[in-house]
Amino acid sequence: MSDVRNIKMKVCLIGEYAVGKTSLIQRYVYNTFSDRYIQTIGAKITKKALLLQYPERKTNLDVDLTIWDIMGEKGFRELLKEAYFYGAQGMLAVCDMTREDSYYELPTWISAVEKVAGSVPVVFLGNKIDLAESKTVEEDDMKMMGESYDSSYLLTSAKTGRNVETAFMRIADRIAGKDVLA
């Protein structure tokens, strides 16, 4: 018999405007993709339950995941970041593979979180990989970013669903490894 434990986690999606943060959450939580742009006003909170299984530890974690979405505008970031990042245990740092600027902004976003929440696990997402023919960010760039934060990356598409579930599972697993199973 495995031991089942219930834990709560707060994860923030960070990254520039229009990289696909809201779409990734929508894909993960509702399994839909809407081409009609639904702009996030302020911060939006979504919940999802997930199960992490660690058979070698005879432990299952019943995770109550709270996902925070934000508008990716700089002015907004300054204004609300304390409230948004407070208590965050992990982040999904998202860039758009077709927009280099969104890649170069990732460290700024991470510092903003770390100022409020301290050092927390991060997983980098190179989103819109379905638009591979117009990509300006290479997989090697993502790899480099991941390594420089002692972390990992995934290439995702909110449109096709590629790696979306894996992304949320991975950040939850990283948080569990740091806070719960350690």
Task: Rule CB under 6 A: say whether 43 interacts with ligand G3D.
Answer: no
Task: Rule CB under 6 A: say whether 130 interacts with ligand G3D.
Answer: yes
Task: Rule CB under 5 A: say whether 26 interacts with Mg ion.
Answer: no
Task: Rule CB under 6 A: say whether 102 interacts with ligand G3D.
Answer: no
Using CB atoms within 10 A of its CB, is residue 139 exposed (0-12), middle (13-18) or buried (19+)?
middle
- Bridge partner residues of 10 (DSSP): 66
User: Which of 40, 60, 152, 166 is close enough to bind Mg ion by CB under 5 A?
Assistant: 40
Encoding tokens for residue 76? 């907004």
Of the two residues 76 and 149, which places its CB atom closer to ligand G3D in the complex?
76
Residues 6+ apart with CB under 8 A from 45: 66, 67, 68, 69
Q: Which does 17 bind (CB under 5 to 8 A by kind): Mg ion, ligand G3D, none?
A: ligand G3D
- Taking each helix axis from N to C terminus, what angle separates 106-117 and 74-85, rounded to the nearest 10 degrees? 30
Where does this chain bind ligand G3D (CB under 6 A)? 17-23, 35, 37, 40, 72, 127-128, 130-131, 157-159
